[in-house]
Structure 1
């Protein structure tokens, strides 16, 4: 009996336990939680699609819903996640160009793959060395090369001080690094010329931009010896060139400014020849050249100081015999007239004249006496034929030896005694002339018309009127001046063929003789003067030869 009651108690307890468990399970709203999901990798919660385990719900009176079973943690397969960049290559390229245009080199370096340590210094140095004052950049077309590389062409304009706008084009190369697009930088990104170690430099050349130009519109030659006559001959300017190295190709150059210089009548090659002819001449000297037909000054090289070649007054010596010979020809002599050429001649009751060679040449043609520069002949013939003041009249009326407006200076006074007349005949006493005045004399013989020298296209309104010479006189003088070069005092000077002229050696009280040579060749007439230089045939004529042979 006791055993039976024990069995009943055990059965009852078991029943109560079974019904209790059933009640809990079958109760409405009861939830059974599934295992916790595996944590999602940090930073990828918004983007990764890691498999998740969902809860299963069973409600009373309904068939239970299928319960998905999560795989064991050690069997979960995760799909690798590729980081997605914040922006595409277009964004990086645009940001880089904007930073570059604004000079933000630190931001640029942050967008570059492995930037060099001197990245910013290179950019600043490039701009400073080439004097870049501003930069504008324009992006071009982007081209992709696969999923992780791209390039964008772009154009730029740098403004270079002194040169203006400097257009260029280049390429930004980009690549995807750890999910971020960056610039693959190299020096040629700044400019194509920097490829393979190339460089650029700003080349400065100092050039002359004178205010006064030659008739050809060119600067006067260097060391022109004409600075007293024309202003601004040494004005300087700087030409700039942007040069690629090592090729030497010029990428940008300063444009020559429009010529604002004043043109003169000076000829650049004639002036250069005149200036170089005076190189090495120890004494102060001058060369003046004029155009035979127009009387325009073609050259003036002057080391005398001031404007002595135009306005200085010096005794012309035997070069004045051209004027004396013209008066004698007008008085009846011809080039072939026989005249005495003694070693010395004394004016009746007056002074004595002698020749430098001390030789008695006897009776010779007037042309020969002229070629040998016989002082005795011209003193005697003037005393005998020109005592009625015709020498002064010839000089003043036909060769400009008078007070007059114009560039040149020359004069002769009425003589007071036969001695003075004899001295005037050989270019001494009251006769004085500037080198330009004697160049006018030579030009008058060559053209047959005396004209005042000018520095303008047309003679000024107050310019003296031209004076025609007697054609027979002019032709005779040309013959006589030609003989000076071929057989006379200038025959050893090295003058080129076709030159005609007259030497002169002028005595100066208290100083050495002045050396002269005047003449013409082709379209140029000229005068060479060396102050206290000595004999004209030995000093001035060789300088004239250097001048003419250089033309």
Structure 2
């Protein structure tokens, strides 16, 4: 039943009755009766009040209400106005309440005239609604949307050109959910359809862990540097705050592994600290070192630093120190066990997949020596190295993630539990990584004073070296990787500096 609020019709003036006293009633009386019947949905009475209504009069009213899902109708008539002898009209306003689209206001005119000695309604389709004039029709249309919109942790749109699409687009099907939208269309012969009302499908929004300012700074830090990536993790939670990837040839910073170069010395240093070395232990750093009866290993530029502290050997990335200490104090199993403790042996579940790396078993002493400095056969992902830096900063290893824990487990399966690291190893590692930036291979590059890190240059046969830099500042840990980019100091460290300066 249509609910109609009808205002009192005023102005039933002297013109209301035609010249002949034999005309029954007045325009005002007929209009009042018509609006009252319309209010009650009394279509039979409306039919009797209309002059020669079309055969489908009742059907038109019912179809409009049914097809547009009209829940209620309000009408506010104005004054009756004479438009000539035996003719009058009433301007009125109305509001239809549509189930899907809400309130739909309109304006109309009720025309009346003396016919067969009584005032009758001269009905036409536009009396029902002005848009029905000249063969017009009204149609309720449906629209659907299932695509998800990923947003930042703050609920903001992910910054444009953020270099994160390669990770977010493939997981969109995991979040598809059909949402319904509606539109009211006015159609007239020979004219394009006109949209009268619309309700777009409700947005299907999914929050990521990405931070808008961090992601923006990460993306802009890579501008102008091809084949590069930066991953930023919050050490206290494992959340990925920034993931910008410009690696070419379909390489992934999350799923692909590369030779790590000297950033792997962080793991070798952890194993050596476990073996009894301390940050102040004096160790030799000759320009070259040869394991007896094996191939020689040299420092970059074969720089001879003499006897230095273990911290200084780390800060200056002495290859010769790490090869000598690793091959005399450790076994390959010691190195592999330490790598596993720092993430290599744990399941990584991010919501977008992921892998960490491997340290293959070997009985070849030369290969073991190369593995100890991140050359050899050891490989790792930028994701894993960012997680390692986060573990040094926080003292707990956490699987990095891009979505909330429930969604990560649904997509990737369960991640490894958080693992507290040995504080007697973590504390000296922090001192050593601070020295790298204070006076070592990452010094003088424009980094903030409180950044700690480790550079890496992974030499490759027949190709330019990979450039790495891992580190942290407060509750931000990062890994920068430039594939075939050259040295870590020359290619990766400046990206980290741009990132922090852009925050």
Measured against the shorter chain, the TM-score band is: 0.5 to 0.7
Q: 2:291 aligns with which of 347, 351, 354?
A: 347
* Aligned residues of 1:309 and 1:434 also touching (Cα < 8 A): yes
The 3-state SS of whatever aligns with 1:334 is coil
What per-residue deviation string (whole Å, max 9, x for no partner) do you get for residues 467-493 of structure 1?
433212201111111222222222233
* Aligned residues of 1:89 and 1:174 also touching (Cα < 8 A): no
The 3-state SS of whatever aligns with 1:353 is strand
* 2:360 is aligned with 1:423: no
* 2:348 is aligned with 1:408: no
The 3-state SS of whatever aligns with 2:497 is helix
Shift of 1:389: 4.3
Q: 1:168 aligns with which of 101, 105, 108?
A: 105
Q: Does the C-alpha gap of structure 1 residues 368 and 239 become closer, same or farther in structure 2, counting only changes over 3 Å?
A: farther
- Aligned 1:388-467 pairs, distance under 5 A: 389-396=333-340, 398-402=341-345, 406=349, 407-454=354-401, 455-457=403-405, 463-467=415-419
Q: Which runs of 5+ in 2 are unaligned?
A: 1-17, 38-66, 114-118, 123-128, 131-144, 185-195
Hey, what does 1:309 align to over in structure 2?
253
Q: Which moved more, 1:470-479 or 1:269-278?
A: 269-278
* Aligned residues of 1:310 and 1:435 also touching (Cα < 8 A): yes
**Root-mean-square deviation over aligned CA pairs:** 4.6
Q: Does the C-alpha gap of structure 1 residues 215 and 393 become closer, same or farther in structure 2, counting only changes over 3 Å?
A: same
* 2:438 is aligned with 1:486: yes
Shift of 1:432: 0.6
* 2:93 is aligned with 1:154: yes
* 2:322 is aligned with 1:374: no
The 3-state SS of whatever aligns with 1:548 is helix
* Aligned residues of 2:151 and 2:206 also touching (Cα < 8 A): yes
* 2:476 is aligned with 1:529: no
Hey, what does 1:232 align to over in structure 2?
172
Q: Larger C-alpha radius of gyration, 1 or 2?
A: 1
* Aligned residues of 2:332 and 2:362 also touching (Cα < 8 A): no
Shift of 1:328: 1.7
* 2:471 is aligned with 1:519: yes
Shift of 1:542: 1.8
Q: Does the C-alpha gap of structure 1 residues 486 and 252 become closer, same or farther in structure 2, counting only changes over 3 Å?
A: farther
The 3-state SS of whatever aligns with 2:405 is coil
Q: Does the C-alpha gap of structure 1 residues 342 and 484 become closer, same or farther in structure 2, counting only changes over 3 Å?
A: same
Counterpart-to-counterpart distance in 2, 1:387 and 1:142: 97
Q: Which runs of 5+ in 1 are unaligned?
A: 1-80, 99-131, 184-189, 192-206, 243-250
TM-score, normalization by structure 1: 0.61
Q: 1:287 aligns with which of 216, 223, 230?
A: 230
The 3-state SS of whatever aligns with 1:453 is coil
The 3-state SS of whatever aligns with 1:340 is strand
* 2:193 is aligned with 1:257: no
Shift of 1:333: 2.1
Counterpart-to-counterpart distance in 1, 2:291 and 2:181: 68
Hey, what does 1:385 align to over in structure 2?
329
Shift of 1:504: 0.7
* Equivalent residues, number: 409
Counterpart-to-counterpart distance in 2, 1:383 and 1:550: 42
Shift of 1:412: 0.7
Counterpart-to-counterpart distance in 1, 2:180 and 2:314: 55
The 3-state SS of whatever aligns with 2:264 is helix
Counterpart-to-counterpart distance in 2, 1:357 and 1:516: 19
* Aligned residues of 1:405 and 1:463 also touching (Cα < 8 A): yes
- Aligned 1:33-182 pairs, distance under 5 A: 88=27, 139-143=75-79, 152-157=91-96, 164-168=101-105, 170=107
Counterpart-to-counterpart distance in 1, 2:490 and 2:33: 82
Q: Does the C-alpha gap of structure 1 residues 138 and 447 become closer, same or farther in structure 2, counting only changes over 3 Å?
A: closer
Q: Does the C-alpha gap of structure 1 residues 147 and 328 become closer, same or farther in structure 2, counting only changes over 3 Å?
A: closer
More relative contact order, 1 or 2 (CA 8 Å, 6+ apart): 2
Q: Which moved more, 1:359-368 or 1:498-507?
A: 359-368
Shift of 1:298: 3.4
Q: Does the C-alpha gap of structure 1 residues 513 and 146 become closer, same or farther in structure 2, counting only changes over 3 Å?
A: same
What per-residue deviation string (whole Å, max 9, x for no partner) do you get for residues 194-224 of structure 1?
xxxxxxxxxxxxx996255544455544344
The 3-state SS of whatever aligns with 1:376 is helix
Hey, what does 2:142 align to over in structure 1?
none
* 2:153 is aligned with 1:210: no
* Aligned residues of 1:408 and 1:453 also touching (Cα < 8 A): no
* 2:441 is aligned with 1:501: no
TM-score, normalization by structure 2: 0.66
* Aligned residues of 2:430 and 2:452 also touching (Cα < 8 A): yes
Counterpart-to-counterpart distance in 1, 2:326 and 2:415: 31
* Aligned residues of 2:355 and 2:384 also touching (Cα < 8 A): yes
The 3-state SS of whatever aligns with 1:308 is coil
What per-residue deviation string (whole Å, max 9, x for no partner) do you get for residues 452-511 of structure 1?
334542785754444433212201111111222222222233333432111111011221
